Structure 1
Amino acid sequence: REARRRSREIDAMLARERRAVRRLVKILLLGAGESGKSTFLKQMRIINGQEFDQKALLDFRDTIYENILKGMRVLVDARDKLGISWESSENEKQGMLVMSWEGRVGASGVEPSEFHLYVMALRALWTDAGIQEAYTRRSEFQLSESVKYFLDSLDRIGQLNYTPSRQDILFARKATKGIVEHDFIIKKIPFKMVDVGGQRSQRQKWFQCFDGITSILFMVSSSEYDQVLMEDRRTNRLVESMNIFETIVNNKLFLNVSIILFLNKTDILADKIQTSDLSRYFPKFTDKRQNAETAQKFILQMYEDRAVNPENQKDWKTLYPHFTCATDTNNIR
């Protein structure tokens, strides 16, 4: 009798698990490196009330310190390579100080005691007209988009008792290595979101995650139309993203999988389009007003064109597109 009771309990438990698996919405986040996938997941945590614990906050703090130092090193180096003069000769010494920072081998982030050695130099450099001019030419070299946000906040971040705010956490940049899964309950429905590194070296891991997928959320950094890949310094980032998207959307594995397309970083696109001509990189764009909304529609159309079967001109997939800014909580909500 006891064995029968235990057998019934096991059967009931398995039935419950099967129901839970059937209800589970599994979303795979795909896209090229730095498209905003990890930022989107941080937003999902914030929106669903999953606060970051003290250890996570300290990890983010050290990552932010590293983002700032790496970013300023890139700017100082770019100023030199672009032949831009220092506004103040004093800042040449400050630039040399920052260039002497190398980070510890194998270390993740920068300790406060180390970061505070550079705060005065960072402040002086960020206000130098030579560094500001290099920043305006950032599409010519590889600079993380969060650098300006952090350098503009140096007075706050440079405090001895600094703890990252939610907004700081959203801007903190650390490349995703491997596969990271996050579980959320949204309107009583269980969601599993799977974040996979977007750099070329990480993409072979994507195929390990395709089992049981409900939807693919494909992230595009819409502002990267004038940038080249970190990995080869040649390929246009938006072209790379469209090529990846085409292989996903035409894949027989995803016949019954819905594809949500997030054209992300619309805030940066709106800012950048004023000074960087989209038609220089994509000649089919003909709007001379450099209008952000027209640019968004043009970029979306390029992705929609990739979702069409060239043989019969029918859509491979119905897309569900959204224009997003992953660092804006209300927009993602």
Structure 2
Amino acid sequence: MVDFLPSRNARFTIPNCLLSHSEVDQIRKSKEIDESLSREKTFAEKKVILLLGAGESGKSTFLKQMRIIHGQDFDQRAKEEFRDTIYSNVIKGIRVLVDAREKLHIPWGDPDNLVHGETVMAFDTSSSMMAKGMVETKVFMNFLPSIRALWQDSGIQNAYDRRREFQLGEPVKYFLDNVDKLGELDYLPTQKDILLARKPTKGIYEYDFETENVPFKMVDLGGQRSERKRWFECFYGITSILFLVSSSEYDQVLMEDRQTNRLSESLNIFETIVNHRVFADVSIILFLNKTDLLEEKVEKVSIKDYFPEFTGDPHKLLDVQTFLVECFRNKCQAHWRELPYHHFTTAINTENIRLVFRDVKDTILYDNLNSYHHCIGY
């Protein structure tokens, strides 16, 4: 006769009739503790947040803010890389303005600046550094006198005032206004400079951080049309989606086709995301970003010229913001989808993002906890 010994991990259920009342009570309490620990472990798992939205909506800026807010400042090497990105932004920006001045038939303020215009238009954009969206300091310094002269020309300033008619990065004016600072030999970008530095996101960027003992992973995905196919690689196992919209772009068109209204593009993307079954249990939070630029724009440009259905005062910020919120809420057609939370944000304002993310974090954790309670029948 062979005795079979139980394996170390074998589990046996002892009939209650063979146990005393105190032993049964101990087993019950132990089981409750195990279940509680299991729930806490699940709840403490990393919260994965996707940043979605069209190009130029502010996703990368928001990710930079997360790094700043959670104490991971940019080191010397990172600042040097951002400096090269800023130099690239400036050269690309001034070239766009020179080209736009000519196409819009705006005369030079000073005809002598024609030479400076030819100088910057002769810049070699095919270099490997430019392909990475970067320009070395020594190269930038060679073009600095021409950049300075061109930005002071009234013809270039007039072209800038008509920037709605062509594609120009929003931070260009800030950097051109501070071009003397950029030309200092020991220049390193400040936090504001870094937040405004623009390099299109290609691929997937992640940032891990922890707040109040809860781990988060934030994922930034490129918003240009060519990058959106990558979104589907990240559509599973996520906790929440932050959908960013550039609220000030209601009068602008996409860089990709130069025809589609940028706000309409954001509305179409949002409609696809918010009604997709794969996100049925995912909280979606809407960030109507670039409030500072929207406030400036409503004073000059009527949203009614681009969205005739608008019925409020086109020069009143609150009326325009209310309209924008309703536009996005009207895209929520799925019967199981609650209307998303929304926030008006300015991604380059660290304090604004700090306060907004505090509310977002509480919303995410609250929704997450409710979903667990629902799953276990609370």
CA distance in 2, matches of 1:151, 1:187: 41
Structure 2 residue aligned with 1:94: 116
For residue 146 of structure 2, what is the amino acid of its counterpart? Answer: A
Contact 1:94 1:124 in 2 (8 A): yes
Contact 2:50 2:220 in 1 (8 A): yes
SS state at 1:69 partner: helix
Structure 1 residue aligned with 2:162: 137
Displacement of 1:103 in angstroms is 3.0
For residue 65 of structure 2, what is the amino acid of its counterpart? Answer: Q
The structure with the largest alpha-carbon Rg is: 2
Structure 2 residue aligned with 1:29: 51
Of 226, 236, 247 in structure 2, the residue corresponding to residue 222 of structure 1 is 247
Structure 2 residue aligned with 1:180: 205
Is 1:287 the counterpart of 2:312? The answer is yes
Displacement of 1:289 in angstroms is 5.2
Cα deviation 1:269-298 (Å, max 9, x = unaligned):
111122222111011223345112211111
Structure 2 residue aligned with 1:152: 177
Of 203, 206, 224 in structure 1, the residue corresponding to residue 231 of structure 2 is 206
Contact 1:249 1:317 in 2 (8 A): no
Structure 2 residue aligned with 1:249: 274
CA distance in 2, matches of 1:96, 1:288: 44
CA distance in 1, matches of 2:43, 2:89: 39
Displacement of 1:182 in angstroms is 0.7
Displacement of 1:59 in angstroms is 0.7
Structure 2 residue aligned with 1:76: 98
Contact 2:298 2:314 in 1 (8 A): no
Cα deviation 1:124-171 (Å, max 9, x = unaligned):
111111111111111110000010111111111111111000000000
Displacement of 1:20 in angstroms is 6.9
CA distance in 2, matches of 1:288, 1:34: 27
CA distance in 1, matches of 2:43, 2:85: 36
CA distance in 2, matches of 1:32, 1:21: 31
- 227-236 or 22-31: which moved more? 22-31
CA distance in 2, matches of 1:85, 1:271: 27
SS state at 1:225 partner: coil
CA distance in 2, matches of 1:289, 1:176: 33
Is 1:317 the counterpart of 2:342? The answer is no
Displacement of 1:188 in angstroms is 1.7
Contact 2:302 2:314 in 1 (8 A): no
Equivalent pairs counted in the alignment come to 316
Cα deviation 1:214-255 (Å, max 9, x = unaligned):
100000000111111111111001100100000000000011
SS state at 1:183 partner: strand
Displacement of 1:186 in angstroms is 1.5
Of 128, 134, 149 in structure 2, the residue corresponding to residue 106 of structure 1 is 128
Of 192, 197, 218 in structure 2, the residue corresponding to residue 193 of structure 1 is 218
Structure 1 residue aligned with 2:41: 19
CA distance in 2, matches of 1:324, 1:315: 27
For residue 51 of structure 2, what is the amino acid of its counterpart? Answer: L
Displacement of 1:104 in angstroms is 4.2
Contact 2:329 2:340 in 1 (8 A): yes
Contact 2:313 2:319 in 1 (8 A): no
Structure 2 residue aligned with 1:328: 349
For residue 140 of structure 1, what is the amino acid of its counterpart? Answer: E
Runs of 4+ in 1 over 4 A off after TM superposition: none
TM-score, reference length from structure 1: 0.91
Cα deviation 1:177-216 (Å, max 9, x = unaligned):
1111110112221000011111001111101101111100
Structure 2 portions without partners, runs of 5+: 1-7, 9-36, 355-378
CA distance in 2, matches of 1:172, 1:285: 34
- C-alpha RMSD over aligned residues: 1.8
Structure 1 residue aligned with 2:107: 85
Of 188, 196, 206 in structure 2, the residue corresponding to residue 171 of structure 1 is 196
Structure 1 residue aligned with 2:264: 239
Contact 2:288 2:345 in 1 (8 A): yes
